[in-house]
Amino acid sequence: MNSQQDKLWVRWVHAYYIKRGTIENVTINSNTSWLLRKILDTRELLRDIGGWEEVSNIQKFSIKKAYNQMQENFERVNWRRLICNNQATPKSKFILWLALLSRLTTTDKVSKWSRDCITLCKLCGVQDESVQHLFFDCDYSKSVWATTLHYLGLSPVNFAVGELRRAIQKARSKRSKDKLYVMLYTECLYAIWLQRNCKHFKGTNLSPPAVIQEVLFKVACNCNENDRYRLLLM
């Protein structure tokens, strides 16, 4: 607060609350405004992360430094750019994130708390449904992936590990074609999840070719003009 005492609000706080003391020893009472109370409540947090010096840059508060100090030391996942450096729709990125964390409510998870749950895949009805099976091993999903890769001129690899590894690698690239692949990868995964839910709750779902057309349209609406032209040629 001392660095901007020319500001009217700062001068008022100093005159009526801090007076001749410091912000560290100001007492919060019933007359303290809500905004100032919230600011003063952060004093303990500030002390825990090392004090003012740890969150300031040339005597000015730094949001970036404060944020970094407040974060715990988590191990970085190798797919972080697949979420952050991705121009796909927010909903599709959210489903991708849940899939990467294996947090989607596939039947193998539901069966753990519901004995009446039928564990067979909602799309193929042949094998038990899991994230691995639903998105990569199911014949329905394989058809969606194979056609999408054909559009991009890519050969299929091991769908579970290989495609994820390829998507992670391309998410690090700045090439327009690689960004397009990441968008298609994300939107295809989301589309498969939507069709799975349609089959489960409505008893019907689109054919793989129809799904791919929807995916291409959605990606075309969110990509740049050059990529949109490339999609139109597919």
Query: Both tokens of residue 95?
Result: 């489903």
Query: Both tokens of residue 27?
Result: 């007492």
Residue 102 CA to residue 95 CA, distance in Å, equals 10
Closest alpha carbon to 28 in 16, 40, 20, 11: 40
Are 69 and 55 a contacting pair, CB within 8 Å? yes
Give the lowest-confidence range in 79-83, 112-116, 119-123.
Answer: 112-116
User: At 11, is the secondary structure helix, strand, or coil?
Assistant: helix
Confidence (pLDDT) at 88:
93
What's the pLDDT tens digit per position in 153-212? 887 776 667 788 999 999 999 888 899 999 999 999 999 999 999 999 999 999 999 999
pTM score, two decimals?
Answer: 0.72
Confidence of residue 1 (pLDDT cuts 50, 70, 90): very low
Count of beta carbons in the 10 Å neighbourhood of residue 121:
24
